A and B are shown apart, each in its own frame.
Chain A
Amino acid sequence: MTATAGQGAPLARPVRRLSWSWLGLLPFFLFAIFFIGAPITYLVIGSFQDKTGQTTLQNYADLATPSISNAFLTSIEVSLVTAVIGGIFGFLLAYAVILGGLPRVLRDALMTFSGVASNFAGVPLALAFIFTLGQLGMITVWLKGIGINPYQSGFTIYSKIGLELVYLYFQFPLMVLIIAPAIDGLRPEWREAAENMGASSRQYWQKVALPILFPTILGTIILLFGNAFGAQATAYQLTSGLIPLVPLLIGNQIAGDVLHNPGLGYAMAMGMVFIMAGSIIVYTVLQRRAERWRR
């Protein structure tokens, strides 16, 4: 982590030098233009069209209607909650197997399992949870057998909380997989050095480990946020669209069974693009603050 002064610092160099560096990113941007740009272009153009193909701004105006704005708020809420909880517990889980002293084989098992679980979503996941915690679910029945009826106390898997519980199934593993290299990168020497200087465990975390890990944790939480934000099939199976979420509404317009207004769907997707952009901005700001604090 030694900062080599002068290397790559563009301040003293002429502007021309900067633009040459950007060339190195050309393959990436070319790929993006070719394969992300094409669908996005249709999204953008389509969002300005109504059902008959005429240009209109009505779709964007419709974004403000209560049902749609409600869907945006709910989507953001669910995504944020599962991103943060997924981030925290995922981090703890990864730490447990990497630096927590558990046997090595458990780490490998967790990493490979996380690979699979991170993509276990949609109908099979929703059904798995219905089979577990639904009214006739395995656990529900078992709990009733020992005298506890969760549904009595108002719990139901078919709710926002239930949905969040289900979403965590792919959020935890995602966090584990992404944060693993960062935890791996925490050299034990730093911990020993800190302890040699008399730091307690908490101080080590506060002054050494967390500041180092912060940008990565933050970036991964944004990833988890986006991951949950775009999820749709799971929610549809679990609550048949009753909990208003943006991807569900988009699906209704674009790929539903009834007369639809794809333009509105595309406009909603553009809304999601803006929210993603917003999350990047928030992330950048928070990250810059943290860097300043680190120095």
Chain B
Amino acid sequence: MKRRRGGIAWWLVFLLAVLYFFLPLVATLDFALKAKPPFSAFTNAVQDPKFFSSLLYSLVIGVLTIVASLSLIVPTAYWVQLKVPRARSLVEFVTLLPFVIPAVVLVFGLIRVYSQPPLPFTHTDIGSSALLVAGYIVLSLPYMYRAVDTGLRAIDIRSLTEAAQSMGAGWVTIIWRVILPNLRVALLSGAFLTLAIVLGEFTIANFLARPAFGPYLNLLSQQKAYEPAAVALISFGLTWLAMIAIAFIGRDTRTRIEIGGAH
């Protein structure tokens, strides 16, 4: 069995990508450092105690959104693939709808409906935060669904399901102990995408008057020149760290026995 070494072509592709992705970031850093003194734009951002409290709030909301979103989407995507393929077009259409609703329309629509009985979410803090999580599930729906769907397609869910059923497993067990472990990469992708959205989101958190990271960062960059650049980089860096943390938690700790091959 041949061990596939990295061909020149693939290295080239990768290096081109690195260039494309990093040059704009370097340019932004170069600009942010023009502040006098050079790091003031960065230190200004981190000094405020609200920096950490708002970051924490957004991280918590992010985790809640990921958990809630997966609980909704994994069974749904699984069911569509396994039992109701005819529903696929409708379900996918619904998952694409969040793209066409402007964020302002989304948040004001939610406020309109859920600021009065029978479901007065906005009347309480917990309710407003719950509404925020709901809003974020909506925003991340297209990405989450597509990631999970891709993951499901890559495994043979019919055989897995049959085998599990023949051993007497119920639906919950099947999804929880059979399907989910095989979706690791897809779940990670979905989690990354969702967390990035939550950490960077501004409009919904802001109009729901939530102490989130997005509105806080925005406050820092009002009408200033160098601060927005520094803030963008800080946000970028922090989100990347959060991704790495998630990747670490979700890492594959099963020992693989490598007998050549690309994996």
Q: Do A and B come from one complex?
A: yes
Q: Which residues of A contact B (CB under 8 A)?
A: 1-4, 7-8, 18, 21-22, 24-25, 27-29, 31-32, 34-36, 38-43, 89, 92-93, 95-103, 106, 108, 110-120, 123-125, 127-129, 131-132, 137-139, 168-169, 172, 174, 177-182, 184-185, 188, 192, 215-216, 219-220, 222-223, 226-227, 229-230, 232, 247, 250-251, 254-255, 266, 269, 272-273, 276-277, 279-281, 283-284
- Give the distance in Å from the alpha carbon of A272 to the alpha carbon of B153 in the complex: 28
Q: A27-B75, A100-B7, A128-B25 are in contact. Are A43 and B147 (CB under 8 A)?
A: no
Contacts of A131 in B (CB 8 A): 24, 27-28, 30-31, 229
Contact A28 B23 (CB under 8 A): no
Would A112 and B240 count as touching, CB distance under 8 A? Answer: yes
- Is B46's CB within 8 Å of the partner chain A? no
Interface flags for B145-186 (1: CB within 8 Å of A; 0: not) read: 011011101111011001000000000000000000001011
Cα distance A219–B5 in the bound complex, in angstroms: 30
Q: Report which of B23, B84, B261 forms a contact with A132, defined as CB distance below 8 A.
A: B23
Contacts of A254 in B (CB 8 A): 102, 104-105
Q: B residues within 8 A CB of A41?
A: 109
List the 4 shortest-distance A-B pairs measured between CB atoms, nearest first: A185-B154, A115-B192, A39-B109, A100-B10
Residues of chain A within 8 A (CB-CB) of B261 are 188
B262, A101: Cβ atoms under 8 Å? yes
B residues 104-142 in Cβ contact with A at 8 Å: 104-106, 108-110, 112-114, 134-135, 137-138, 141-142
Whether a CB of chain A sits under 8 angstroms from the CB of B208 is: no
Is there an interface contact between B109 and A177, defined as CB atoms closer than 8 Å?
Answer: no
In the docked arrangement, what's the CA distance between A32 and B158, Å?
A: 27
Set of chain A residues within 8 Å of B236, measured between Cβ atoms? 116, 120
For B102, the chain A residues whose CB sits under 8 A away are 230, 232, 247, 250-251, 254-255, 269
Residue of A at shortest CB range from B73? A28
Other than the given A21-B83, A128-B25, 12 more pairs (CB < 8 A) read: A18-B84, A39-B108, A101-B7, A103-B6, A112-B240, A115-B239, A124-B28, A169-B24, A174-B143, A188-B262, A192-B1, A226-B99
A112 touching B150 by the CB < 8 A rule? no
Q: Is the Cβ of B150 less than 8 Å from the Cβ of A96?
A: no
Question: How many angstroms between the C-alpha atoms of A266 and B4 in the bound complex?
Answer: 53
A131 to B33, CA, bound (A): 13
Q: Does B67 contact A (CB under 8 A)?
A: no
A115 and B109 contact, CB distance less than 8 A: no
List chain B residues, Cβ under 8 A from A128: 24-25, 27-28, 232
Residues of chain B within 8 A (CB-CB) of A7 are 158, 162
Task: Check B244 against A112 for contact (C-beta < 8 Å).
Answer: yes
B75 near A215 with CB under 8 A, answer no
Closest residue on chain A to residue B79 by CB atoms:
A24
CA distance A139 to B156 in the complex (A): 48
Known interface pairs A100-B10, A128-B28. Does A181 touch B100 (Cβ–Cβ under 8 Å)? no
B:4-25 near A, CB below 8 Å: 4-7, 9-11, 13-14, 17, 20-21, 23-25
**How far is it, in angstroms, between the C-alpha of A80 and the C-alpha of B134 when the chains are bound?**
30
Inter-chain contact A180/B189, CB cutoff 8 Å: yes
Residue of B nearest to A134 (CB): B27
CA of A7 to CA of B240, assembled, Å: 43
Measured CB to CB, the closest approach of chain A to B38, in angstroms, equals 16
When distances are taken between beta carbons in the complex, the residues of chain A under 8 Å from B40 are none
**B89 on the interface (CB 8 Å rule)?**
yes
Given the known inter-chain contacts A2-B159, A119-B200, A129-B24, please indicate yes or no for A102 contacting B10, CB distance below 8 A.
yes
- Closest residue to B68 on the A side, CB-wise? A31
- B240 & A220 in contact (Cβ 8 Å cutoff): no
Do A178 and B147 have beta carbons less than 8 Å apart? yes
| With A111-B247, A131-B31: A179-B262 Cβ-Cβ less than 8 Å | no
Q: Whole-angstrom distance from the CB of A13 to the nearest CB of chain B? A: 11
Which of A35, A119, A137, A181 touches B185 (beta carbons < 8 Å)? A181
